[in-house]
Structure 1
Amino acid sequence: MTYSKNRAIVLAIIEGGLSITDAATQFSVTTRWIRTLLSRYNTHGLEGLEPRSRAPHHNPNATPQPVRDRILELRKHLVAQGLDAGAESIHDRLPPEHRPSPATIWRILRAGEAITPQPQKRPRSSWHRFEADAPNGLWQSDFTHWQLADGTDIEIISWLDDHARFLLHASPHERVTGPIVIDSFLAAADTYDLPAATLTDNGMVYTTRLARGANGQNFQPNAFEQLLADLSIEQKNGRPGHPTTQGKIERFHQTLKRWLAARAAPHTLADLQLLLDDFRAVYNTERPHRALNRATPHEVYHRGIKDFPRLDTTDQQWRVRYDTIDGAGVMTLRYAGKLRHLGIGRAHNRTRVIALVNGPNVMVISRRGGEIIAEFTIDPAKDYQPKHRK
């Protein structure tokens, strides 16, 4: 070892009386190196003869200390807010001129003991993601539990767009029932139009397919299933015992609960709804998503061409749209690049309807009674469209 050789050289001179020139010849080193060793010995004793690091005393590429401090501060702040506090989330919040790579940020967090490495976790490169091709191609829904300040258990139902991870709806209820599933679904459809398909678990509020026999034969659909069938929306359900089928909304509920846990417990359902509204704004517009290449769900949902339900009859494809007639008895529909006003009649104001659209032909069906209340052939030269006379 180098240390043993350095020690032998010095001891041969100090205690053995060997000259510097003879020691240089004996040990095949330069006289300059021997003088360096003697100087170290005179200052630090035998410990000074140990090999020294060749690393530079200063790394010009090292992250400045103020930036390192800011990274650790952001980590604490995001954790306290119940938000994602990983390296990429911190990277997004640093100014471009002082923004190390996510890998460097992770090393700084580890050095600062702000994270615990988890080598046992499955690498993200091994994940196989399924994703709808367009916004409104598939909506996922599920509900989770939360407690009010007095310990009352509350259920929160959510609707999430599969393509954009866009939170369409979140509301709290004492218990989620079949009618609440329908109301929450239609509330989301009122704002964002109808999806082409839905994905849920096999809970009775979503489906009765498994209620009568293992194969779901001869079952009577519940109101939600019938609604989807009426609107020509494909209903998908995860396999029993495989919650990973609804992995996106399961993961979303973890994010939601972490955010709620960082805030004072709500006292009423109204208080919890206000928190959910705040979270929805943060989740959709302020929080970049790893699976969306660091874009926000709002950006991805609104930049794509939206999917919609389709109904095939007599070899013609009908586009299905859910809408509500306004107070003047008029429904709006975009055709040939312009917004058209379809006159249905004041007797049907505020009625929820299904509009079947095939080119210029429109059929309007009441959701209240299921009857056809108006038919149109749109005249592209006109804004206001009168309905066909019976």
Structure 2
Amino acid sequence: MSHANAALTPRARLRLARLIVDEGWPVARAAERYDVAWPTAKRWAVRYAEHGAAAMTDRSSRPHHSPTRTARPVVRKIVHLRWKQRLGPVQIAGQLAMPASTVHAVLTRCRINRLSHIDRATGEPIRRYEHDRPGAMLHVDVKKYGNVPDGGGWRYVGRAQGERHRQATARRTGIRNTHHHPRIGTAFVHTVIDDHSRVAYAEIRDNETATTAIDVLRNAVAWFTERGVTVERVLSDNGSAYKSHAWRDACHQLGIKPKKTRPYRPQTNGKVERFHRTMTDGWALRRFYSSEHARRAALPAWLHHYNHHRPHTAIGGRPPITRLTNVPGQYN
């Protein structure tokens, strides 16, 4: 692209070249007309005569041949060490006996200079997918949190005071584990995420059995149906609840096709796994809760904020609810 102070734009170059080539103007006269040097006018005229109007744009200054460029076999070694061992430029340079700046340039050219472009577990390039419409795929999973003892947990009141709160809560509830140690229980948050819109639905239950998972799925499907979304598939991990025949039969009754992730491959269900991290930071551990009841009561408000107000970077910085194109009243 021409710089701001260029004497000739691509359109002006074309007019200049046509005066010389098509209309027979002398090069010196055409150069004087457009207030440029004689060699400049001749260069554009020759280029127009040889390649036509398409040649009036700027050419790349990149050389046709770079004899000092890093050889392909070396590039492959650099990429292999980055993918498989997740090494940085300095470590790779030490193994290959080459400058770290060269390694960094290769990594940048191959777009693997940032580890965020690489799968944390396997070192392979991240392959992202997204279904083209709401309801085409739901992701389901369960996130477990230890219940908050009366008076607050150790993260905010310290370990000593948190242990006293835990003991007092266990004495009040009378719950003990098999070793007679105090136990305050676990909150099982069953989460459902729409693949296309990232709209989330969640319920807190006291277990993760198949019966509970099926009940949450029915509620989630009804919730999405109220918002004009027809659910077609549901993706889960290989937990016992989702491998049961009851889960399979319930999905068939709802007209949903159940799908499973590859064993030991949670990245396939990465959208719900990432939502769990957001939920942990934004709700579960966000602030001090004086009891488990207070934390559970705060979940609906946080879910509303997540769905309706919080910008989501994966969908262009918009709230997830904006991708449900047929939400009742959206266009009023």
Q: TM-score, normalising length from structure 1?
A: 0.41
Q: Which has the higher helix share?
A: 2
If you compute each CA radius of gyration, which structure gives the higher value, 1 or 2? 1
Q: TM-score, normalising length from structure 2?
A: 0.48
Q: Which has the higher strand share?
A: 1
